[in-house]
Amino acid sequence: MKLWQKDKAALAAVEKFTVGKDQEMDTYLAPFDVLGSLAHIAMLQSINLLTADELAVLQRELKNIYKEIQDGDFKLEDGVEDIHSQVELLLTRRLGEVGKKIHSGRSRNDQVLVDLKLFLRHELEVLVGEVKALFDLLQSQSEAYKNHLLPGYTHLQIAMPSSFGLWFGAYAESLVDDLIVLQSAYKTVNKNPLGSAAGYGSSFPLNRTMTTQLLGFEDLNYNVVYAQMGRGKTEKIVAFALSGIAATLSKMAMDACLFMNQNFGFISFPDELTTGSSIMPHKKNPDVWELIRSHCNKLQALPNEIAMMTVNLPSGYHRDLQLLKENLFPAFGQLTACIHMAKLMIENVKVKDGILEDEKYKYLFSVEVVNNLVLEGTPFREAYKKVGYDIENGTFTTDTKVNHTHEGSIGNLCTAQIKGMMDKVLGDFNFESVHKAVDSLVK
């Protein structure tokens, strides 16, 4: 029997179709469902819907279930519809009738909402740590290779001198902006929907501020209708934040594939990090980077997938929303795997020395010559024409000295300033208050 079921069992085909992958997806939510219930029952006791003794036994058993989940000893049983049903079933088996009291004052709608918010909040924090580790590695490589020059390109044509210091550092700074977007998603997630019930509140005198504080949320989703409307919107905002990080990784992967190509030959990797061909013994294929690129391009489609699944829904709950979990939940693991593999490749990259000594790169320095003429007093437009004429007539000569000293250029990477930006973003997340609240609930 389902929580909502009154008499007849649903047709097996209907049940299979409507449940779908919900059991599998709900395993992600298990610890967070227990946290939500711990906060909810404390609030129920405060408004006299539970006695102090009932609260104590429920808290004890919910903490036991939480530990079972952490230890890997928990599963959704066959025939049990969702995580909420499983937790209530276990409490009722172990404690009797008091186990059935935990549902007072809430609906499965706000249960799943709070579970989602807690799950997403946790996953975003984990992802922040992964991004920070990649950021630190990129900054380290930026400093290590700051004097290694390479061609810069516009329109895929040789343009001006660049450096590996700039290249690695560019992706590090890109991650700063990605985390600013991620922080916006985190702030959206970190609001409490519990107490909105089925989307229209409750006649019980619920203390929603209390559950907000107990769960470490920054604030409430105050309007109960909006709390339900936030489902789908929240997932889309989170997906957009994930897609930003994915876009950074995808672009870096494309660069790496080009730079490995023998026509470029700027970087290489150990044989064990590349793959070969079944018939061409010379091949060292960038399969890791190619798969990072493909996974991340797929992740960039995620916000649109979620948007299309929710675009024509009116306010209130609709079963369409169930499918969002199947798209969004695995995305965290996919993105984390791409970050791990990108780190492995970047840690083991070998950068070629003396790239710009090749004759074909001599025109990279044309702007340097123009600027030197301007510094000597020639108007810029005249200097530009002179150098262009020399190139056309084959009389262009230059040395390969580069003197870029302004902020963020080859000779002034501003690594410390970029790190300062990252540190500020990280400090604004305030994870400590969440940890304190969760620790208080489960201890």
Longest dimension (CA), the chain: 94
C-alpha to C-alpha distances, 230 to 154, 166, 189, 313, 414, nearest whole angstrom? 42, 40, 9, 12, 40
What pLDDT score was predicted for residue 25?
Answer: 80
pTM of the model: 0.92
What pLDDT score was predicted for residue 417?
Answer: 98
Same fold flag, 12-103 and 108-195+223-357+413-430: no
What pLDDT score was predicted for residue 6?
Answer: 52
Mean pLDDT in order along the chain per 10 residues (443 residues): 56 74 83 97 98 97 96 89 91 95 94 97 98 98 97 95 97 98 98 96 97 98 96 96 98 97 95 86 90 98 96 90 93 98 98 94 92 94 95 89 92 97 96 96 92
CATH topology of domain 108-195+223-357+413-430: Fumarase C; Chain A, domain 2 (1.20.200)
Nearest to 87 by CA among 39, 125, 134, 35: 35
Tokens of 101: 């009291």
What pLDDT score was predicted for residue 16?
Answer: 74
Domain residue ranges in the chain:
12-103, 108-195+223-357+413-430
**Is the separation of the CB atoms in 442 and 38 below 8 Å?**
yes
**Is the separation of the CB atoms in 34 and 65 below 8 Å?**
yes
**Is the separation of the CB atoms in 353 and 268 below 8 Å?**
no
Nearest to 192 by CA among 349, 304, 32: 32
* Superfamily for domain range 12-103: Fumarase/aspartase (N-terminal domain) (1.10.275.10)
What pLDDT score was predicted for residue 12?
Answer: 75
